[in-house]
């Protein structure tokens, strides 16, 4: 990736400040969850959360089913419950389609997957419509997701976990620089011998860490996990900054539909517009704080743990036409 013209600046975000009232923080975080989960037809091919699920599936390939996904900075939940739903529905559909008779064969033709005349979807079609010249096969069914944070949001997580058999949470604080061994052991094993690797998720979180904290988190991650993914809705580009303004405008446009039942929220959106202001201000600061894949890799290679055998992959997926991009970095330990 070309080096951004804008240097990285570790400035502060309003939402991180201890003086920022918790009820306003909750409104801002709900706004961020909307950013992850909204799907506007014509402007978005899918929600960003679904894009993360598609990216995990495409990049991890066969090994996607061999992990438990632990969100180490889940905040109020963010996109993880939606990523879980999107990824598991793909995996379960793929498992079901694998069980169909051999006549339902699939082929990849000119970058597009074609199903047989039986109408059964091909593996590639189920995997990801944008997957080019790749047929993805999975080893198994649904995978488990776990929500954790240094400051657990038990109430929101409990509500999310009730909606899925594959989403759980840890109610005590979990520090991503010192992940408890018992927790990693517990989630590395599911059913008997069905051993899972730990895959850490950092959604809209990694840019919050200064270099020392980021190195400490990466060190702990590569010493105790099998892979990790950093997903950001912004980057250090002019288009990233313009997207933040568009997002503020979008919140102003859509708020009555989302919050007609909450005059207090509408007050803080329209009369004293703190919520859109913080979303745009923090969004721009987040752009300036977001690292390129090369910068993350430099931290990884200098974090003090043995990073030999760790492979870094990265990319950008458009989540909002014409400017909004999801940037992702996926690092995995090469199988011994
Ligand atoms: C911006 S919020 C996460 C947002 C959420 N993932 C989302 O997309 O809406 C960043 C989170 O990182 C957590 N955090 C900061 N330092 C941490 C650490 N050392 N270990 C675990 N979590 C940490 C904070 O408590 C906060 O909830």
| Domain of residue 232, CATH code | 3.40.50.150
Please report the pLDDT score of residue 93 as a whole number: 86
Q: Concatenate the DSSP letters of all residues of 140-157 into one string.
A: SS---EEE--SS--HHHH
- The band of 5, judged by pLDDT with boundaries at 50, 70 and 90, is confident
Question: Is the CB–ligand 1 distance for residue 74 below 6 Å?
Answer: yes
Strands of 73-193 (E only): list them: 107-109, 112-114, 145-147, 167-169
Q: Report the 10 Å Cβ neighbour count for 11.
A: 11
The torsion region of residue 119 among left (phi > 0), alpha (psi -120 to 50) and beta comes to left
The pLDDT tens digits of the residues spanning 122-135 come to 333 333 434 433 34
- The band of 100, judged by pLDDT with boundaries at 50, 70 and 90, is low
By DSSP bridging, strand 324-333 and strand 227-232 are antiparallel
Q: Is residue 149 part of a domain?
A: yes
Cβ-count burial 67-98 (b if 16+ within 10 Å, e if not): bbbbbbbbbbbbbbbbbbbbbbebbbbbbebe
> What whole-number distance in Å separates Cα of residue 14 and Cα of residue 202?
20
Residues near 330 by beta carbon (within 8 Å), at least 6 away in sequence: 55, 56, 59, 60, 227, 228, 229, 230, 312, 313, 314
- Among residues 308, 142, 101, the alpha carbon closest in space to that of 223 is found at 308
The pLDDT tens digits of the residues spanning 219-267 come to 999 999 999 999 999 999 999 999 999 999 989 999 999 999 999 999 9
> What whole-number distance in Å separates Cα of residue 211 and Cα of residue 221?
15
Question: Is the CB–ligand 1 distance for residue 206 below 6 Å?
Answer: no
Collapsing DSSP to helix, strand or coil, 260 comes out as coil
Q: Is residue 137 part of a domain?
A: yes
Q: How far is the CA of 25 from the centre of ligand 1 (A)?
A: 13
CB–CB of 90/53 below 8 Å?
yes
Question: Is the CB–ligand 1 distance for residue 32 below 6 Å?
Answer: yes
Please report the pLDDT score of residue 221 as a whole number: 98
Residues near 174 by beta carbon (within 8 Å), at least 6 away in sequence: 72, 148, 149, 150, 152, 180, 183
Please report the pLDDT score of residue 241 as a whole number: 95
Please report the pLDDT score of residue 105 as a whole number: 36
Question: Is the CB–ligand 1 distance for residue 204 below 6 Å?
Answer: yes
Phi, psi angle pair for 11, to nearest 5°: -85, 175
By DSSP bridging, strand 197-203 and strand 227-232 are parallel
Mutate to test the pocket of ligand 1, among 26, 205, 207, 247 (most ligand atoms within 8 A of CB): 205
> What whole-number distance in Å separates Cα of residue 43 and Cα of residue 314?
23
Please report the pLDDT score of residue 119 as a whole number: 32
Question: Is the CB–ligand 1 distance for residue 73 below 6 Å?
Answer: yes
- The band of 120, judged by pLDDT with boundaries at 50, 70 and 90, is very low
Please report the pLDDT score of residue 2 as a whole number: 73
Q: Is residue 280 part of a domain?
A: no
Domain count of the fold of the chain: 1
Residues near 88 by beta carbon (within 8 Å), at least 6 away in sequence: 141, 142, 143, 164, 166
Atom of ligand 1 nearest to the CA of 15: 1
> What whole-number distance in Å separates Cα of residue 45 and Cα of residue 33?
18
Q: Is residue 37 part of a domain?
A: no
Residue 317 tokens, joined: 């997926």
Please report the pLDDT score of residue 194 as a whole number: 72
**Using the 8-state DSSP alphabet, how is residue 292 labeled?**
P
Question: Is the CB–ligand 1 distance for residue 34 below 6 Å?
Answer: no
pTM here is 0.86
Q: Is residue 105 part of a domain?
A: no
- Among residues 53, 54, 42, 59, the alpha carbon closest in space to that of 82 is found at 53
285 pLDDT higher than 60: yes
The pLDDT tens digits of the residues spanning 36-50 come to 999 999 999 999 999
Residue 316 tokens, joined: 């950008």
The pLDDT tens digits of the residues spanning 166-183 come to 999 999 999 999 999 999
111 pLDDT higher than 80: no
Q: Is residue 126 part of a domain?
A: yes
Looking at every residue in the chain, the average pLDDT score rounds to 87
- The band of 189, judged by pLDDT with boundaries at 50, 70 and 90, is confident
Look at ligand 1, atom 8, and give the residue with the nearest C-alpha. 78
- The band of 81, judged by pLDDT with boundaries at 50, 70 and 90, is very high
* Residue that has been written with the tokens 């900054």 in this structure: 241
Query: Which of 18-32, 87-101, 313-327 has the weakest average pLDDT?
Result: 87-101
Q: Is residue 309 part of a domain?
A: yes
Mutate to test the pocket of ligand 1, among 37, 47, 149, 172 (most ligand atoms within 8 A of CB): 149
Domain around 179: 47-98+114-242+289-333
Q: Is residue 228 part of a domain?
A: yes
136 pLDDT higher than 50: no
């Amino acid at each position: 990736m070309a080096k951004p013209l804008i240097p990285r600046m570790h400035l502060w975000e309003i939402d991180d400040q201890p003086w920022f009232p918790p009820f306003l923080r909750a409104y801002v975080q709900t706004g961020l969850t909307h950013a992850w989960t909204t799907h506007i037809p014509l402007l978005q091919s899918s929600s960003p959360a679904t894009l993360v699920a598609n990216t995990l599936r495409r990049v991890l390939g066969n090994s996607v089913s061999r992990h438990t996904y632990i969100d180490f900075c889940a905040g109020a939940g963010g996109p993880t419950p939606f990523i879980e739903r999107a990824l598991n529905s793909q995996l379960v559909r793929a498992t079901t389609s694998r069980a169909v008779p051999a006549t339902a064969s699939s082929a990849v033709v000119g970058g597009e997957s074609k199903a047989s005349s039986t109408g059964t979807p091909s593996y590639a079609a189920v995997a990801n419509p944008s997957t080019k010249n790749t047929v993805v096969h999975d080893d198994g069914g649904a995978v488990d997701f776990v929500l954790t944070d240094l400051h657990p949001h038990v109430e929101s997580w409990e509500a999310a976990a009730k909606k899925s058999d594959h989403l759980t949470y840890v109610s005590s604080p979990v520090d991503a620089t010192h992940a408890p061994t018992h927790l990693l052991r517990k989630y590395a094993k599911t059913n008997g011998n069905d051993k899972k690797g730990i895959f850490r998720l950092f959604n809209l979180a990694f840019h919050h860490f200064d270099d020392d904290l980021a190195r400490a988190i990466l060190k702990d991650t590569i010493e105790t996990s099998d892979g990790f993914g950093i997903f950001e809705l912004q980057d250090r580009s002019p288009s990233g900054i313009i997207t933040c303004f568009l997002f503020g405008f979008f919140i102003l446009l859509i708020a009555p539909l989302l919050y007609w039942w909450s005059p207090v929220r509408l007050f803080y959106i329209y009369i004293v517009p703190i919520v859109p202001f913080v979303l745009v201000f923090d969004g721009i600061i987040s752009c300036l704080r977001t690292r390129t894949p090369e910068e993350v890799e430099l931290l990884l290679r200098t974090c003090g743990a043995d990073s030999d055998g760790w492979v870094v992959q990265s990319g950008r997926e458009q989540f909002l036409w014409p400017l909004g991009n999801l940037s992702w970095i996926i690092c995995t330990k090469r199988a011994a």
